[in-house]
């Protein structure tokens, strides 16, 4: 890439006003330096978004900028961590000033919202691909992992499920939407909101947590597998948005809520004796949390269907369910 292009990226990066105390040295040297406050652990996660694979090729640069940071923030949310810093690796097919400015707008708007400082970056020429490595902090020993769920825990999710999946179906021509419906659902797909505050709010109560990137069944499956427990989900309790109800029949809405990815909501478990405390937090902080099921000693994921029938998926079934 020509030298001028690097200057431009440099300029974009320098416009960020967030200066974190934890960043001892930011952009400009061979590497950045992070200061982890005593009593905290550093939480690190890396994601890559490839054009045509993780987002449709005609997605706006602004949305790509937002989403590339949002998916990383979502992983920190799932650990109950506070975001601190991010580094960015951009592969671009051509030098395009307008595209870069739009990308930076989407990226930094979200970065500023969660006070995340960009501490490093790399730009190369190649197929459009965005890599982010995010750094967060969490009080020592308090990160929410996937392996802590015990039998009898209540299973919860944030927000609504299936909206991003419905938008994808519409883009593929498999679902007809009205203009307003498309606008609402596309926003959920292109501008997912990471559940940072929710993740920190539930940290002391949750026994396990994951962010839903691959669909509820597949991602809850990771918790069940790593916690060595089973679960029953009450399908008619799944939170489905008003928009999804309008454009799909109930059965299709529930199916999408169970198997569609890209919503970046949190799925977590809380011991039954902590449920009252969670309910207090939910009301006090006005958190969008829904109770959808319970973990249990018998293995497998049991789906209690609205007609009273029971569908059971074994561990292999979790993955298969996504593609079915
Ligand atoms: Mg994740």
Residues forming beta bridges with residue 136, ordered by sequence position: 43, 83
- Tell me which residues of the chain have a pLDDT lower than 50: 3, 323-324
Compute the distance from residue 71 Cα to the ligand 1 centre, in Å: 8
DSSP reduced 3-state for 175:
coil
β-bridge partners, 184 = none
Query: How far apart are alpha carbons 313 and 270 in whole angstroms?
Result: 22
Query: Given this model, what pLDDT does residue 130 score?
Result: 97
- pLDDT tens-digit profile of 63-73? 999 999 999 99
Distance (angstroms) between ligand 1 centre and the Cα of 293 equals: 21
* pLDDT given for residue 171 in this prediction: 93
Q: Please report the pLDDT score of residue 313 as a whole number.
A: 83
Ligand 1 centroid distance, CA of 97 (Å): 32
Dist. CA 210 → ligand 1 center (Å): 6
Q: What is the pLDDT of residue 324?
A: 46
Rounded distance from Cα 46 to ligand 1 centre (Å):
10
Handedness of CA 260, 266, 267, 272 (dihedral sign): negative
209 C-alpha vs ligand 1 centroid, how far in Å?
9
DSSP code of 116? P
pLDDT, mean over the chain: 92
Q: Give the per-residue pLDDT at 12.
A: 66
Q: What is the pLDDT of residue 295?
A: 98
CA of 274 to the centre of ligand 1 (A): 24
């Amino acid at each position: 890439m020509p030298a001028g292009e690097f200057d431009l990226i440099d300029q974009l990066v320098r416009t960020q006003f967030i200066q974190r105390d934890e960043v001892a040295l930011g952009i400009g040297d061979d590497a950045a330096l992070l200061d982890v406050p005593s009593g905290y652990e550093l939480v690190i996660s890396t994601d890559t978004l490839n054009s045509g694979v993780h987002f449709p090729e005609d997605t706006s640069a602004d949305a790509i900028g937002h989403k590339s940071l949002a998916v990383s923030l979502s992983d920190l949310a799932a650990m109950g961590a506070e975001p601190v810093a991010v580094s960015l690796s951009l592969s671009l097919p051509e030098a395009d000033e307008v595209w870069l400015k739009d990308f930076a707008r989407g990226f930094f708007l979200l970065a500023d919202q969660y006070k995340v400082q960009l501490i490093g970056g790399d730009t190369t020429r190649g197929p459009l691909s965005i890599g982010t490595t995010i750094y967060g902090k969490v009080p020592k020993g308090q990160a929410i992992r996937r392996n802590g769920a015990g039998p009898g825990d209540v299973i919860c999710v944030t927000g609504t499920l299936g909206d991003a999946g419905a938008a994808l179906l519409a883009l593929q021509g498999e679902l007809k939407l009205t203009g307003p419906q498309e606008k609402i659902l596309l926003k959920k797909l292109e501008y997912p909101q990471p559940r940072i505050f929710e993740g920190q709010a539930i940290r002391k109560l949750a026994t396990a947590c994951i962010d839903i990137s691959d669909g509820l069944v597949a991602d809850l499956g990771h918790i069940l597998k790593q916690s060595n427990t089973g679960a029953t989900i009450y399908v008619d309790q799944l939170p489905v948005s008003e928009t999804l109800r309008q454009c799909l029949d109930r059965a299709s809405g529930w199916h999408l809520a169970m198997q569609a990815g890209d919503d970046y909501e949190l799925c977590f478990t809380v011991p039954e004796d902590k449920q009252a405390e969670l309910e207090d937090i939910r009301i006090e902080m006005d958190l969008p949390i829904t109770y959808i099921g319970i973990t249990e000693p018998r293995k497998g994921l049991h789906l209690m269907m609205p007609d009273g029938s029971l569908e059971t998926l074994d561990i292999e079934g979790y993955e298969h369910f996504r593609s079915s």
